[in-house]
Amino acid sequence: MKRILVTGSLGYLGSVLTKSLVESGYDCVGYDTGFFKDCLLYPPPATETILRDARNITAADLKNVDVVIHLAGISNDPVGKLEASRIYDPTRAYSFSIAKLCKKLGVRFIFASSCSVYGLGEDDLLTESSPTHPQTLYSLNKLQIEEDLRSISDKEFSPIALRFATVFGPSPRIRFDVVVNMLTGMAVANRTIVLNSDGMSWRPNLHILDACQAVRRAIELDYRGGELLVLNVGADENNLQVIQIAKIIQRAIPGCDLRFLTENPELDKEGLIRDRKVRGGGDTRTYKVSFEKIRKTLPSFRCEWDVERGVKDMADLFKQLAFSMEIFKRRGFYRLQELEYLYERGYLSDDLYWLMNSAPVTTENMS
């Protein structure tokens, strides 16, 4: 039985991935600093977890590990007044450090990258060899980590970078700062969909269970190609404009109004809906992505979820949970706001380490 270590296991994707790997017969251990441990929509599965910062991973942590799935990282803009370098330089450094440990110990390495590296695309579908134009420091950070992995790749160490489309769908530690989840949550809770832009930008979308499937297929591939393998993860039909997503949700949840934040700023008094990367209603991040390469490289991988099916499934779950605007607006479901809260109240250092007496207690089997 292969042993898999998942960094960032108590995040949005990690909370679903660890369960998926265990159910697929893998021996799985999670590794997470615990920023979002208690940001729960519903009870998570019990998983073997090491509560420790990924910057502190050592060779001992990788003993008997066959594959590292590296999800850990800051998934939004820098926090408050912190310099970007204080956030992203360490993320790049520890990702490279873990990868070099894996190379030394003969452990395979699969990196969770992002289609957001394309940033600004034309009308053509973008492939893995298309130029990249990252529009955020988060996306640039993903590219830098890919470059570092490429620099140490050889026949003995052939990592995989999965460039995920924007992930959506339910998770115990759900995010409402991603487009499909946010708009679906609004629709169920308040029968109103509020767009923070004009909705014209394109996004590729990926259901969280299909993201987990892609990771499993990558593990099964046992790739030894001698260079970094980069794969866009998603399906062509899930390339949609934000306005198209909103209309899909309107059809799935009848009776929803569609409104625009630029015209109705009072609809976001808490500052949860507005995106700091949207200016004057426009969003420079717009791209459509080709997924032909993953279909050829991982023939058994096919996305089972389109956005319409995913929205209906998520809406049904929300209704079962008696979902409300109070739940939708919980700070913990918005990663940047939660990190700002922890930092500004003195729980985290400038380098986003837990300060003494603030860190969660290490637990081996947690839910």
Q: Per-residue pLDDT averaged across 332-356, rounded?
A: 90
Report pLDDT digits (tens) over 233-291. 999 999 999 999 999 999 999 999 998 877 666 556 566 565 555 555 456 678 999 99
pLDDT-derived band at 144, boundaries 50, 70, 90: very high
Domains in the chain with CATH codes: 3-171+206-237+286-306+335-366 (3.40.50.720)
d(CA 151, CA 186): 44
Give yes or no for residue 131 having a pLDDT over 60: yes
Q: State which H helix or E strand residue 205 sits in.
A: strand 202-207
Q: What is the pLDDT of residue 363?
A: 62
Q: What is the pLDDT of residue 95?
A: 97
Instruction: List beta partners, residue 231.
Output: 162
Q: What is the pLDDT of residue 275?
A: 58
Report pLDDT digits (tens) over 297-336. 999 999 999 999 999 999 999 999 999 999 999 999 998 8
Q: Give the residue from 367, 173, 340 showing the smallest Cα distance to 271.
A: 340
Please give the model's pTM, rounded to 2 decimal places: 0.93
Question: How many Å separate Cα 96 from the centre of its chain?
Answer: 19
Report pLDDT digits (tens) over 195-244. 877 888 899 999 999 999 999 999 999 899 999 999 999 999 999 999 99
d(CA 346, CA 354): 9
Report pLDDT digits (tens) over 38-67. 999 999 998 899 999 999 999 999 999 999
CA dist list (Å): 290 to 243, 294, 295: 20, 9, 10
Q: Using CA atoms in the order 194, 195, 198, 201, what is the torsion angle rounded to 10 degrees?
A: -150
- Within 10 angstroms of residue 259's Cβ, the number of other Cβ atoms is 15
